[in-house]
Structure 1
Amino acid sequence: MSKQKNAQETSVVRSTIDVSKLEPYLQANLPEFEAPLEIRQFKFGQSNPTYLLIDANKKRYVLRKKPSGVLLSTKAHSIEREYRILNALSRNTDIPVPKVYLLCENNEILDTPFYVMEFLEGRIFEDLRLLSLPLEERRQCWYSAIETLARLHLVNYKDIGLETFGKSSGFYNRQIRSLLKTSAAQAAVKDKDGNQVGPLPRIDDRIRWFKKNEVPDETTIVHGDFKLDNLVFHQTEPRVIGILDWELSTIGHPLSDLANLLINFYAKDLSGPFIGLRDVTDLPIPPANELMQLYCREVGRPYPIPNFEFAIVFSFFKLAVIIQGIAAREALNQASSAEAKLYASFLKPVSYFGFDIIDRGDLSDKSKL
């Protein structure tokens, strides 16, 4: 079995934190915190800089902040939204999320808003194949991920104070418009040598296909980036104890989360950070159809899911925009991850994901599928 890389690993601080301002702020606003403060930065994660805080009693916390400098997209780094939904879920449901302790919107402390939350001791798997685990434990971990997602989608967002967290209709249309705007801004970014990030290929073809193959509206809480490496698993048991990285969360279509979780099953392998399983004949984890059937049973919807390919193509589009954003932040020297340059190098091949579905034609014409 392969050795599992520790996704909770930290390094020295790469994005500077002003300890002289943060330490007294925490002493005044975080009960039980005691100076002096030790800070480490998590190696994993591509968007918002994330830090491990250790106080004098060795109690650990996690701090998430917006990147410093002028941001290309304020929506893509929504620390305030993360705090709001984590606070609502942790206080009012049994959905496994870290507790949040404080939100600071005063830019004089760390130059951008930030929040502090509970540190969850557990396992984060970067490789969705879970090759470091026995076969049965892999299945149980994936089942736990699906069941956790289903539980999230069954939460009544109005009952927990999130009725204004997002619009109740038009999710995919709004998301596509927003992603197009974000992508255009990212494409225009130049590095110090004047090299432009550049646009995603065949944008017009994507938009035409989306318009012809719209899916009916559904409305639930949507995580926005639900995937295996945003889940914390128990240290020894195959069950989810925490869902992380809520910056893209909203009220929207539940299939967007399911497609995001299963996207690797529809992608070819690039022998890089993105593991494609489309052409793998002997999968080391449960296949997509088995996981979808479990999801449908848990939420009470029919299987197979009509036009699920729409959700997959949308997820590929969003993934391409996310990687384009990594490339843009790398060009601006704002990237938070130590591996940002590697991820950015895969922008072009990832940008073509989904066109095998688009080029088959409309989903209504089953003879082409």
Structure 2
Amino acid sequence: MSAVGPVRQPIDVASLEKYLISHVPRCFRAPITLKQFGYGQSNPTYLVLNGDGRKYVMRKKPPGSLLSKTAHAVEREYRVLHSLQDTPVPTPRVHVLCEDSSIIGTPFYIMEFVKGRIFENYAIPDVSASDRKLIWKSAIQTLALLHSIPPDSVNLQSYGAPSNFYRRQISTWTKIHASQSATIDAESKKPIGNLPHFHEMLKYFGDNLPQDRNTIVHGDFKIDNLIYHPTEPRVIGIVDWELSTLGHPLSDLANLLTPFSYINPEVTVPAEISAHKYNNDLKTLPGVPTPVELLGWYKDIAGWDPAPDMNFAFAFTLMRGSAIFHGIAARHAMRVASSAQAYENGEKRWGYSELAWEYTKKHKKEVESRKKIEPKL
């Protein structure tokens, strides 16, 4: 999490203090004070300073009306964290969920404050080469541990649909893309149009789905959503569970390993992506493990080999990224998001779509090659 500062929107701290002391007396003592973590979290996140010096973290829904009933679901975050807290998966312990909006305006939950390191740059500069490798190793081993937890063993069997994750994702993104493509630009009065190769990619994905699997997935598993031990190269906490559900483990794997898709010499990577500082660091810093090493460490714990389907997973994840940038472009076209940064982010849709197409073609070649060498029955 980022640095803390003053609370940006008013919160009734007296009401919060009364609630916490009443409902979690083992943890909380007056006076309680709040600071807010920096921008970047869709659910406002606060440092709770206890009267006895202990620290906690509060996550709450944003104030005001929400566009989606399923967005900002802090209740789901609490549920998955509570379910996983007695498993080998390193998660912050949760102490209370409050669904009563009268306390501070929206539902919230409280979890422990995990003191450690968060690495924004996925190349992990400023550590030794050996630690860099171990930091990445711990990340993918932690993901394998998560994917190895049977949902029904922690009462999460109803946490999402039981199958067909990618089939459902194809349907979802087809509808989203159609709506975004039809958005009329406020100045040109023309629709912003389709993403390059979008329909070809979605048809290919539907015709070449990987073997269906269903595990607990984090939904945004990446290096900067992991808390590392203050001095040791190991994960001690996974944060930001807002997008968690039941789904295909390849989606989490591709999300974590997407940085390696930016530096693959076997595909044509758009210059605006490959030139990013983090990607240059990933190519040049010693100790960065290879994707083969990473997938091997994952397989050792998860018990299955994701390697044959990783280019499918990269293609799909990059397509999804391009569609997200497409949405930003649509909002900019309507002048709902009018900043220069919104325009620049919307323009990223072109490079991400082209890179997704590169990985789609790469996976297609691999599939065709495997068919040629498979013994005929």
TM class, shorter-length: 0.7 to 0.9
Give how far 1:96 is off.
0.5
Aligned mates of 1:96, 1:224 — CA distance in 2: 16
The higher relative CO (CA closer than 8 Å, separation ≥ 6) is in: 1
The answer to whether residue 82 in structure 2 is matched with residue 83 in structure 1 is no
Q: What's the CA shift string for 1:107-162, capped at 9, x where partnerless?
A: 22333322111110000111111111111101111111111111111112111111
Identity %: 41
1:204–1:119: structure 2 CA closer, same or farther, 3 Å change rule? same
Distance 1:196 1:274 in 2: 35
Alpha-carbon distance in structure 1 between the residues aligned to 2:227 and 2:214 = 26
CA distance in 1, matches of 2:19, 2:176: 34
Distance 1:341 1:45, change over 3 A: farther
Task: Say which of 171, 192, 204 aligns to 1:209.
Answer: 204
User: Contact (CA 8 Å) 1:23, 1:35: kept in 2 or not?
Assistant: yes
The Cα of 1:190 is off from its aligned counterpart by: 11
Structure 1: 5+ residue stretches without partners:
1-6, 334-339
The Cα offsets for residues 302-322 of structure 1, whole Å up to 9 and x where unpaired, read as: 47x223211112222333455
CA separation in 1, counterparts of 2:340 and 2:45? 18
Query: 1:319 maps to which residue?
Result: 321
> Could you say if the C-alpha distance between residues 321 and 41 of structure 1 is closer, same or farther in structure 2, counting changes exceeding 3 Å?
farther
Change (3 A) 1:33 1:179: farther
1:41 is matched by which residue type in structure 2?
A: Q
State how 1:321-360 maps to structure 2 within 5 Å: 321=323, 345-350=344-349, 351-352=352-353, 353-358=355-360
Match of 1:4 in 2: none
- Is 2:137 the counterpart of 1:143? yes
68-77 vs 98-107, which deviates more? 68-77
Match of 2:293 in 1: 290
**Aligned equivalent of 1:266:** 261
The answer as to 2:162 corresponding to 1:168 is yes
**1:308 matched residue in structure 2:** 310
Structure-2 separation of matches of 1:67 and 1:199: 32
Q: Distance in 2 between matches of 1:173 and 1:190?
A: 29
Q: Distance in 2 between matches of 1:328 and 1:38?
A: 40
Matched, 1:128 2:149: no
Please give the per-residue CA displacement for 1:166-224, whole angstroms capped at 9, x wherever unaligned: 2221111223333455667778999999x999677244333223212211201211111
Aligned residue number for residue 95 of structure 1:
89
Q: Specify the alignment match of 1:365 in structure 2.
A: 368
Counterpart contact for 1:255–1:311, Cα < 8 Å: yes
- Cα RMSD of the aligned pairs, angstroms, is 3.6
Give the direction of change, closer, same or farther, for the CA distance of 1:105–1:277 in structure 2 (3 Å limit).
Answer: farther
Distance verdict in 2 for CA 1:22–1:180, change over 3 Å: farther
When normalised by structure 1's length, the TM-score is: 0.82
> Which residue of the partner structure matches residue 149 of structure 2?
155
Which of structures 1 and 2 has the bigger CA Rg?
2
Select the residue among 60, 63, 66 that pairs with 1:65: 60
When structure 1 is superposed on structure 2, of 310-319 and 140-149 the one drifting more is: 310-319
Q: Give the residue type in structure 1 aligned to 2:292.
A: N
- Contact 2:311–2:362 under 8 Å retained in 1: no
Q: Are residues 321 and 85 of structure 1, via their aligned partners in 2, closer, same or farther at CA, if it must alter by over 3 Å?
A: farther
Match of 2:200, SS state, is helix
In 2, are the aligned partners of 1:323 and 1:343 still within 8 Å (CA)? no
Distance 1:277 1:324, change over 3 A: farther
Corresponding letter in the other structure for 2:309? N
In structure 2, the partner of 1:10 is 4
Cα 1:197–1:348, aligned 2, differ >3 Å: closer, same or farther? farther
How far did 1:327 drift?
8.1
Number of aligned residues: 353
Q: Which blocks of at least 5 consecutive residues in structure 2 are unaligned?
A: 263-268, 371-377
